[in-house]
Amino acid sequence: MTPPDAGEPGWVHDAIWWHVYPLGFVGAEPGAEPARPVRHRLPQLVRWLDHAVELGASGLALGPVFASESHGYDTTDHLRIDPRLGDDADFDDLVAACRSRGLRLLLDGVFNHVGRGHPAFQQVLAEGPAARTAGWFRLRWPGGPQAWAPGTEPGYDDFEGHSALVALDHGSPDVVDHVSEVMAHWLDRGADGWRLDAAYAVPTPFWAEVTARVRARHPGAYLMGEVIHGDYGRFVAESGLDAVTQYELWKAVWSSLNDGNFFELDAALARHDDVLGRFVPYTFVGNHDVTRIASRLDDDRHLAHALVVLLTTGGTPSVYAGDEHAFRGVKEDRAGGDDAVRPPFPASPEELSPVGLPVYHLHQELIGLRRRHRWLHTARTATLHLANEQVVYETRADGERLVVALSVGDGATELPAPGAGRVLAGDAEVLAAGTSGARVRLRPHGWAVLTG
């Protein structure tokens, strides 16, 4: 069978991302103002790179850094660093700082839509159907193109009802050219790959054409798309991307812990195994678009369980900045509803509250375990014991094996764990270690990762 990571660049096998939403992280103004001078804030991120290294990450996954009107996903210039963050020199310095620490750099590209202020759309508003860039968008002219008069604005497709986000026409050769050139430009400048925002909203033939062009110039680039639901394997096969986001597993992790229903996690892990047979997905328990995992979980004692699942199952894992210190924040469905999960950070890690240090050290421990067992990148799981409040599963690849035991019950418990040996992380007592009759004793709400 073809290895599931055969299509991705080899370096991704060891990738663990520290994910930052830069506009929030540096406390940038909520909206762009043309007359405002450039603010050189990207250097603030440089002061945090050692934190990422000490955490155990091997790469920095950046949210949008290109000129935009507000939150970064309403791009107005794909070839300019947002002046609220800095300029080209600041970006070059960030790339150099990442390189000097052995960190890869992943950029966030918004290519499903642009902000209304994008020059291509402004040209349409100024010149009407005859504009050179009219073919970039899916437009509807009142009375037809021949009836256009200056000041007449067309109807247009947007992103999920947000009129400030003008959808691109992905059947346009000019759009294919533009996106391909933008992606190659920043890879030329030192980026290692792209997260493609709202990839699910873009036809897969468009991505197939773009990825082919980009890989012709940068065969080592990692190209990953945001896909929330649907047939992940089919999307990857048709688009030419290396991976997509694993939202199904994210949901099953926190939901099964909150509900005391490990049957949900078991079902999701079975489907996750199927995905791993085709590609290695981008895995996470937190990102800039969802409620913080520490706020999502009903019981703080289960934060460790969520992290254990993330770091003992196949995938390319990501830690959203702040989650490693148990930051809290609830996403709300309203204007500004993302602010709580995209807060400003202090000037340096030394200014973080020590309250979050136990969670930080837990991240270090489990990321360290992950890096010592690099085969976990493509590992498959099999359930050894399953109940509502307890699960034991094995994770295996390349002839290697670990055993994971989790409990969310109020009482101590003893679980069958065939072949389980010594404890690598967590707290457990192992009976008949290394035998087919091995059993694991866990404390209330306990967990353990053991040799297999």
Q: How far apart are CA 5 and CA 37, in angstroms?
A: 45
Q: How far apart are CA 42 and CA 23, in angstroms?
A: 9
CATH of the domain at 251: 3.20.20.80
Task: Tokens 């990102």: give the residue.
Answer: 287
Q: Is residue 154 part of a domain?
A: no
Based on the fold, state whether residues 318 and 388 are members of the same structural domain.
Answer: no
Q: How far apart are CA 399 and CA 396, in angstroms?
A: 7
Domain end marker among 378, 395, 428: 378
In one-letter notation, the amino acid at residue 423 is V
Q: What is the pTM of this model?
A: 0.97
pLDDT digits (tens, 9 = 90+) for 395-419: 999 999 999 999 999 999 999 999 9
pLDDT digits (tens, 9 = 90+) for 106-153: 999 999 999 999 999 999 999 999 999 999 999 999 999 999 999 999
Based on the fold, state whether residues 63 and 40 are members of the same structural domain.
Answer: yes
Token output for 205? 């033939």
pLDDT digits (tens, 9 = 90+) for 173-187: 999 999 999 999 999
In one-letter notation, the amino acid at residue 6 is A
Based on the fold, state whether residues 257 and 280 are members of the same structural domain.
Answer: yes
Domain end marker among 378, 398, 431: 378
Based on the fold, state whether residues 209 and 274 are members of the same structural domain.
Answer: yes
Q: How far apart are CA 426 and CA 442, in angstroms?
A: 9
Confidence check: pLDDT of 6 > 50:
yes
Q: Which domain holds residue 433?
A: 381-451
Q: Is residue 144 part of a domain?
A: no
Number of domains in the chain: 2
Domain end marker among 322, 344, 378: 378
